Amino acid sequence: MKGSVFNGFESYVEEQYGLHIWQQLIEASESECNGIYLASDTYNDQDMFSLVSILSDKVSKPASEIQKEFGIFFFKTLFSLASHHIAHIDTLFSFLRAVDDVIHVEVKKSDTSAYTPAFFYDQPSENELVMRYVSKRGMCYFAEGLIIGAAKHFETPAQISQSKCVHCGDKYCLINIKI
């Protein structure tokens, strides 16, 4: 996972819980990098899962909720990085389709070693989009948070749920978005 995601998580933790909590997470995680993440470097995914798990225990909040909140928080950062590639997009569903078709393509152009999740789309009605999320990381709750952040950005009230989830034994996640 890219250091920029760890940097974003640090900002999220500091804003929501305080610098002292971030420092406690780093001490408890026994990470080799001691909380110093270079944005362009790649770090072990397990380090992120460890930080989320420790925070979950510390603040008595499910890890899934922490990932979702972090996704909402981090959306603005990710959107700003991709905004010049998607400047013409002005609806939530168009943006969500562009994640895999445009944004992830551009990410891989700039970093051939980058790992991005795959999304497959189905639109059963004008007001509903179903996104199949496929990733070795299983960060579907983070993806949900990013979708919530996108809905806020595009000022589109949305209901988001999962009808399938790898954390419930399914092979992939189905994230349902209704506007």
**pLDDT tens digits, residue range 49-62?**
999 999 999 999 99
Rounded CA separation 118/129 (Å):
15
Alpha-helical regions (H) of the chain: 3-17, 19-29, 45-59, 63-82, 92-98, 104-110, 140-153
Provide the CB-side half-sphere exposure for 171 (13 A, CA): 0
At 167, the amino acid letter reads H
**67-178 falls under which CATH superfamily?**
H-NOX domain (3.90.1520.10)
Query: Tokens 């980058």 identify what position?
Result: 114
Residue-level pLDDT at 149: 97
Provide the percentage of residues in the chain whose pLDDT is more than 70.
Answer: 100
Could you tell me how many residues make up the chain? 179
pLDDT, residue 31, reads 80
Q: Residue holding tokens 């988001």?
A: 160
**Structure token digits, residue 154:** 């595009």
Question: What is the rounded distance in angstroms from the CA atom of residue 34 to the CA atom of residue 23?
Answer: 9
- Give pLDDT, residue 113: 83
For the chain, what are the domain ranges? Answer: 3-61, 67-178
- Average confidence score pLDDT of the chain: 94
The confidence band for 3, taking pLDDT boundaries of 50, 70 and 90, is very high
51-108 pLDDT per residue, tens: 999 999 999 999 999 999 999 999 999 998 888 888 899 999 999 999 988 888 888 8
Q: Are 92 and 154 in contact (CB under 8 A)?
A: yes
- Residue 50, burial from CB neighbour count under 10 angstroms (0-12, 13-18, 19+): middle
pLDDT class of 112 with cuts at 50, 70, 90: confident
Task: Say if residue 34's pLDDT is above 90.
Answer: no
Q: In the chain, pLDDT over 90 holds for what percent of residues?
A: 79
What is the model's pLDDT at position 114? Answer: 84
Strand partners, 119: 133
